[in-house]
Amino acid sequence: MITQTKFYQKYDGLAFWFVSGLIVGFVYSLAFGLVWGLVWGLVFGLVFGLLFGLLFGLAFWLVCGFVIILIHFKEALSFLYGFYPILFLVIGILILTELLFILMPREKLKKETNLFWHTCKRKLECFIEVVLGFFVIAQIYILIREGRKYITQEVYNEILKWIGYIGMGIIVLGLICLIFYIWIKLNERKYKR
């Protein structure tokens, strides 16, 4: 047997310490790996999952709603029929685009920037923001119009309850941030002399 060799007889207990080292190392690495794997997995999973879900969900469903409203414009927005209401809508979108362009903060431009293309880019950004805002309002209008048949008094009360929970959460987070801000500002006075 291998344990009867001179090497093992010279170092008595080598097998015990080797096996115990393996077991302790395995248990420690398993526990450490599980704890840190769970911690970092939860943190990164929640943060990146929430961000990706929100961004992808908002972008995908806004685009889907935009396409559906464009395809079924007459059925989606039944109050917009005829030439004049659609003309007023287009004029309103253009006016809101110009107002948003005027109210956007100025930015410092490099000397080599082409002003014409920069202005075109900024106007297109404003136009897309106004049109997306219009389509979000249109989607809310369609949701309210189509959802009325499904919203009973119980569902309405549940919606109001959750809106209250969300509102209270926002208020509490705002108060915590305000208290933290005031605390930092008061401690900042220590360094002003």
User: Are 86 and 80 within 8 A, CB to CB?
Assistant: yes
59: amino acid identity, one letter: A
How do residues 10-65 score in pLDDT, each as one tens digit?
A: 656 666 777 778 888 888 888 888 888 888 888 888 888 888 887 887 778 777 77
Q: Tens digit of pLDDT for each residue in 83-139?
A: 777 788 888 888 998 998 888 887 787 888 888 888 888 899 888 888 888 887 877
3-class secondary-structure state, position 78: coil
pTM score over 0.75: no
Sign of CA dihedral 74, 79, 81, 86: negative
